[in-house]
Chains A and B, each alone.
Chain A
């Protein structure tokens, strides 16, 4: 065999190898993009299915039994005259210490304004602290508030103040109150103990309490207490001032009454 064909053969082999390598590289590139494509498809599929399932779970339960005076499935509990010139929406968790401070300063002002027909107080009891504190006290308290409202606005208002007045220091993993405590406070507020017990036992307003929690997220309520006066959120600095001094809230109510 002469040297020439060997050389040709070597050159052809080199060319062939070069081609093979290029093709292999192209194949690897294709494969990589295919893998990324499949990965994106997996991500999208997981997210779409998951969100679809959870979206139904976070929807308001329109079949929920509603406490006295509540007109929408996720509406707050209205206390006082619907003809009052000022509406105050109050978002609170019965276990929230800041809410107890707020109530300690302002409950007399609010209760008086409601009694005088100056304010329609709409209570939105939230229950997120159950999760944060690892207990189950906010939910039964919120349900008991709804149960007590069946005995009238005054009973609900009194019950609401009583729970805050008796709020123990936050203790992780420990209940803030027992069902007996809630029943006793409901009775002291003027509700019938047996009625409230039956209402709590059958969890009559559980779905409503869930709905209120959901509506808090969509209303952008990120902490408690949060106040809306005639639909306007009370800014943080004004809210902070309310903790110190009852006249701040009095003034806010008076201003809102003049405006409307």
Chain B
């Protein structure tokens, strides 16, 4: 609690920004790929990393995984988990593009639709990798600082819950005290609220 309260005010706002930016990027990338599954499957095959059947499966699943992650980040549900999965995804993308580069393939990464073989002079591997590194940094930030505004997650606010905790210990003790000193009980409740 003390560690949390020492964190600067603006931190959750930066995390909110990271969440929304990442959600926008993933949502856009997923949607543009989801509407054209055929191109997406070809883009995956162009990496020549998987047998055709597996490539087809990845091509079908990946866009919707991206959309699902975008949704979670947008509403801020299990932010740290969603960010961690996104980070793993970005690492996989970086590895894929790097391997295509290292093997001397001439492909478009297909990151935002398109994909497949292109002219050797038109490859943009470094740019694609740096872009993914940027997205990885956003995801990494959210893994470290998942607490943010406008999120379903309620990081650090549970202590301020207006409801008394369930299974309050020894209510009869409180009751007896209330009998003797009502003001004390009121003070207990008040203490809980403000703590």
- Residues of chain A touching chain B, judged by Cβ–Cβ distance below 8 Å, are 9, 12-13, 15-16, 19-20, 23-24, 27-28, 31-32, 35-36, 38-39, 42-43, 45-47, 49-51, 54-55, 57-58, 97, 128, 131-132, 170, 213-214, 216-224
Contacts and interface: CB of A to CB of B under 8 A. Distances in A.
Nearest to A57: B37
Contacts of A220: 45, 51-52, 55
Interface residues of B, number: 50
B56 A20 contact: no
Contact of A58 (B38, B116, B153, B165): B38
Given A16-B168, A20-B165, A39-B77, 18 more contacts: A20-B168, A35-B78, A35-B152, A39-B72, A39-B78, A39-B81, A39-B82, A42-B77, A43-B72, A45-B68, A47-B64, A57-B37, A132-B108, A214-B38, A217-B41, A217-B52, A217-B55, A222-B45
Main secondary structure of the interface of B (DSSP, over half): helix
B49 to A, nearest CB: 10
A128 B116 contact: yes
Given A39-B78, A50-B63, A218-B52, A28 B158 contact: yes
A33 to B, nearest CB: 9
A-B complex: 3 closest residue pairs judged by Cβ atoms:
A50-B64, A39-B78, A46-B68
A193 B128 CA distance: 46
Given A15-B169, A38-B78, A47-B64, A58 B37 contact: yes
A12 B172 CA distance: 12
